Amino acid sequence: MRVIVARTAGFCKGVKDALEVTMEAIEKREDGERICTYGPLIHNRQVLAMLEQKGIREENRIENCAGRKVVIRAHGIPPQERQHLHKVGATLLDATCRRVAKVQAAIKSHARRGYHTVIVGDEDHAEVIGLMGYTEGRGVVINRPAQVNDLPGDWQKVLLVAQTTQNEEIFRDIQEQFLKKYPNGKVRNTICDSTHQRQTEVREMCSQVDAMIIVGGSHSGNTMRLAEVARECAVPTYHVETEQDLNAQELARYSSVGVSAGASTPSWIIRNVVQFLESIRPERSGRTYTRKRILELLVYGNVYVALGAALLAVFVDALTDLSGAFGCSLMAAFYAFSMHSLNIYLDRNAIHLNDPPRAAFYKKWKPAFTAVSAVAVISALAIAAGSGLPTFLTLFLLVLLGIIYTVPLAIPRWCRRLSVYKLKDIPTSKTFFIPIAWASVTVLLPHLHEFGQFFGRLVYAFWVVFLLVLIRTSLLDLLAVQGDRLVGRETLVVLVGETRAARYTLGFFGLLVCSLLLGPIVGVASYFAYLLLPFIVLYGWSLKRAFQTRLKEDPVFETRIEGIVMGAGGLALLWNLLNG
């Protein structure tokens, strides 16, 4: 089945900001401090369940919020309830969407000047209830053009606004009727840009597919609106919360399906839906391992990680014109495999949120992974011991740091104010620690005994490998940004956002290109450096694909990224054979 995924699918900025406010409150929570949300933070049950696991409960009665730190939901609340929360001693953290706040401000400003407010929306929706609180008792809610005729004709000052997730076409029809009845009335099209873009894209997609799947909460206004838009286009439409709501047999009759999602729908849920749809075949016989299934096994099994680390050790030899033993490649492969596998089990939350099928794979094969990882660690240390005590001690330190990365440590009291309880809590730690570890095990350890003699070449090689793996890690982080955002700030993408992280990654590209060009000129690298430039172009292409395929084809995308590292290593192997 051909699956087209909407570019706009997934969290909108308002939802992202609301989650950021909540996650920051969790990170800075002091012992005994109780945090809750007043009403559901967003309309997505899966995210709310995750927050409840972190101790963030939803409260719907103001009295239950007394003395707590209270997160105001993204939909906003009436000003009277905000005042009441202050009176019961609640400390408020405002996660109201900025677009909703602007609508509140517009209504409040006009209400003070005696305006009546007509809100196009759903009367029982949380956002509309909040907006009505700013009308000073002169507000009315409608959702059909015919209802304009029922409004009083003697209103002199009237303002028309919309729920930010309202259907664009319905609002335009109501606006036309409104201006006929109130020629001097004021109109503010307060439908969010994100809502407008999603609805426009769904209309475009409906002409390209046989059916539409809209993913999101059953109570989410903007998600229901997307389903309405798709149905208006006379396309079979399915509104689902997760892939479990889909019927493979029923969907098998369609050759192409479009997927869009509401503003509160996490990427990992959209990915699960896409993977489910892509697995549907009109005729399936027995258990067949498709190309994608094979790629999944290679990615999930950390085969690419081990092979990439092994080839990077060869890559260093070609870059520096130094020679390393075959055992050094094995040591790097064993180390990378064991550390990546180990941290999968020490930090399960992010994997579960970003890629549940992968999490299920690791759960199923946990005994095997644990046993093989233990053997890999012991083998790596044995190889290091054969190279001398300094190499063994250095690798032992790297292994120790890898093991304690996600383990809470006894940190001095002053660090608690910074919310640093483990290495993982350090902002961007994952993004930068992985390339440092890989550079150490592929550059430093194999040549530790000759580091003083070839200091310049090895420092240069360390820098190039660091940049190469840093770009790899940053690209992979783009896939996992939402799950990582919900469990911590250990990646650059989470800390600065996807757009800025992409710019930084382009900066890393520039540094790597300059380094490769200058290396042979200043005499710290062989001419092999110039052969690597095409691989950097492939990395640039992958950055573009990271945004285009962020909600589908994860194993394929990861194979491309890991393939660039392995390709550079394979070219180095050929270089060494020809020059050996």
Contact by Cβ (8 Å): 465, 316:
yes
Contact 196, 187 (CB under 8 A): no
For position 146, what pLDDT does the model report? 94
What was the pLDDT predicted at 480? 63
CA distance 229 to 526: 60
The CATH number for 11-96, chosen from 3.30.70.260, 3.40.50.970, 3.40.50.300, 3.40.50.11270, is: 3.40.50.11270
The pLDDT score that the predictor gives to residue 396 is 94
Instruction: Provide CATH code, domain 194-293.
Output: 3.40.1010.20
pTM score of the predicted model: 0.64
Question: Which residues of the chain carry a pLDDT beneath 70?
Answer: 281-292, 345-357, 406-425, 479-491, 494-495, 497-498, 543-555, 580
Catalytic residue from among 81, 127, 201, 241: 127
Nearest partner of 170 among 128, 224, 120, 116, judged by Cα: 120
Backbone phi, psi, residue 23, to 5°: -65, -35
Q: How far apart are CA 12 and CA 125, in angstroms?
A: 18
Does the annotation mark 553 as catalytic?
no
How many Å apart are CA 366 and CA 98, to the nearest integer?
A: 44
Count, in order, helices (H) and strands (E) of the chain.
Answer: 26, 12
Containing 400, the helix (H) or strand (E) segment is: helix 389-403
Residues of the chain with CATH 3.40.1010.20: 100-191, 194-293
Distance of alpha carbon 250 from the chain centroid: 31
Q: Using alpha carbons only, what angle is made at residue 271 by residues 269 and 276, rounded to the nearest 5 degrees?
A: 100
Residues of the chain with CATH 3.40.50.11270: 11-96
CA–CA gap between residue 171 and residue 190 (Å, rounded) = 10
Residue 324 per-residue DSSP state: -
Please spell the DSSP secondary structure of 510-553, one letter per residue. Answer: HHHHHHHHHHHHHTSS-THHHHTHHHHHHHHHHHHHHHHTTTS-
Task: Quickly name the fold that domain 100-191 has.
Answer: Cobalt-precorrin-4 Transmethylase; domain 1 (3.40.1010)
What digits encode the pLDDT tens for the residues 159-210? 999 999 888 889 999 999 999 999 999 999 999 888 888 899 999 999 999 9
Rounded CA separation 80/129 (Å)? 11
